[in-house]
Structures are given as structure tokens and as C-alpha cells.
Amino acid sequence: MTKNFEVKLGQGGYGSVYKGKLRSGHLVAVKLLGKSGANGQDFINEIATIGRIHHINVVQLVGYCAERSKRALIFYFMPNGSLDKYVFNREKASPLDWDMKFKIAVEVARGIRYLHHGCDIQILYFDIKPHNILLDDKFVPKISDFGLAKLCSTNKETVTMTAARRTIGYVAPELINRSIGAISYKVDVYSFGILLMEMVNLNKDLARNNDESSKYFPNWIYDHLNQGKDIHIGNVDENDHGKIGRKMTIVALWCIQMCPDNRPSMNKVLDMLEGDVKHLQIPNYPWYMARNEEESATYSNASTSFLHGDNGSSITMGET
């Protein structure tokens, strides 16, 4: 199928991905898991999860192979690669225009909503990031890589967690400090908020702002929005594209609320994205930003390191 693994598409902590072709002529991506696949648990998770999912914004599993120590997952090939290539301008990819960015954001939100509320069982994804959003030939996004996903009953509001890998920068606060709140589908909502911020390039915009370059970037966004100032995002005009940037920013701020209870569900996220930006309210100033300067600086430094970590890095967390 891969002609002896001739064309390598990518590599990660899970193993490597190769391009292949079925006898029918369809192109596929063959994900060959490495030997350190947590005793095969990631492999089992992906089959158990993706095997029951049928949604336009979730990658479709074509088949799998389990022969002795070899484990492989086979998906339809996505010619436009992953979203991170465009968000972080890797491989000097052509930038996405604002209409396309917004379309991708909405469709990713629909995919996450389906995982949370559209299946006969609730699926918590736990790894929303640009690297795991694949784009087909028409730039329709597909959520992929379900190795960390967790299945739970639809009537269960919280889940218990054992040690698991997570990607620095997209980790919800309650996964680091359990006193912040219970672990639930709101973990995915938080990660989606960070994804929105990266798509809008807000962290890069702050880095260019020399006088405030050390400020934790959600604080900077709050300051600008609450002062009635526009956030200048790349080459955005003052009309529809400016509204898209502002809408995605406000929705992102709701998604990254510290307390999970204050974050919206993905149903509400979609309502906000698809509604009129004039009807969107900016969330209340977070409690940690109202503290004295010394405490706020301490929190901001910790948050900055956890939000601005290497986007390809992973951390392992257990019960706290």
C-alpha cells in the first residue's frame, strides 16, 4: 500500500505517517505507531473512538492493521496537510484569508460539538490543537488523532483522569490544578479557545507590541476590548474581516475562562460564532487580573510559560 513506506508525510511522538494508495485508487495516510505506544492503549483508543464516529469534520478511519508488534491506522489522505502549517506559516504555506479562517473555526467547533453531544456516547478529545486538524482538498477541517480521547456516558458530567500526555500551550488549568474545577468536556472548550487565538494571531500581535511585550496576552486583549479599542490583527480591514477577528477574539476569551463553569458549551460557542458580533458581550474581567500587581505578575508568568510552550512539546500529568 505504501510501496515499502516510500513517501513519509510526518512524524510525532506516536510514530510516523506515510502516504499510500488503495487498490481502488484512493490515496490514504498510513499512521504507523511506534513501539512506545503506551502498551497499545493509544491504538485501542483510536479504533474504539473513530470506529463509531461519522461526521464531516472528523477524520474517517478506513482500516487498521495489528500484526504481532506492528500497529497501523489507515485514513483517507488530506492533501492540504494540518492546520498548524498555515497558523505557524510552516513550509512557507500560503496564508489563509479571513473568510477561510472563520469557516475552518466554525467547522472545527461543529466537529467538537458532535463529539460532545452528537454520538450515542460522549467523547472527550483532550488534544485540540492545529497539528490535529487536517484539511482536505477543499480545506474542510477534520479532527484527527484520537489516541488521548476518553469515552464516557452522555449523562456523566465529569470524568476521572490518570496520568496522560498533554500538549503544552493547550492544557486547561483544571488538568494542572484539580482544585480549579472538575474535568469535563470544558477541557476541550478551553483548548478550542487557544486554537482561535492562534488562528487570529493575537499572541504574535502582542509580541510585536514592544511596550507591552511582557504582558500575558489575554490580559492585553481584555485591556484593549474594555477600553473600546480595536485589536489590529495582521492585514485585516475595517469591514467584515475586522468583525470576524473581533468575533473570534471574544469567543476565545469566553472559552479560556479559568473556571470551567464559566466556559460555554460548544453549542453556545457555535451560537456566538454564527451570530452577530454586535450581540457578543466581553466576559467579566478574570479574578486573577484583579489581584495586586505582585500576585498578578506571578500568575501571568506561570500562565505565559504554560500557554507559550513549544507547540510540539508534551507533558505528563497525573492525579493531584
Please report the DSSP string for 31-85 in residue order: EEE-TTSGGGHHHHHHHHHHTT---TTBPPEEEEEEETTEEEEEEE--TT-BTHH
Q: Which of 138, 136, 148, 139 is nearest to 29 (CA)?
A: 136
Q: What residues does 150 pair with on adjacent strands?
A: 124
Query: Is 261 annotated in the active site?
Result: no
Instruction: Report the alpha-carbon distance of residue 281 to residue 7 in Å, rounded.
Output: 48
Grid cell listed for 15: 510514530
Contact 231, 221 (CB under 8 A): yes
Grid cell listed for 161: 483522569
The residue from 42, 84, 127, 188 that is catalytic is 127
Phi and psi at 175, nearest 5°, equal -75, -20
Phi and psi at 16, nearest 5°, equal -130, 155
- Angle, CA of 123, 125 and 126, to the nearest 5°: 135
Q: Which of 214, 74, 88, 95 is nearest to 144 (CA)?
A: 74
Strands 141-143 and 8-12, by their bridges, are unpaired
Contact 193, 256 (CB under 8 A): yes
HSE toward the beta carbon, residue 165, CA cutoff 13 A: 15
Residues taking part in catalysis:
127
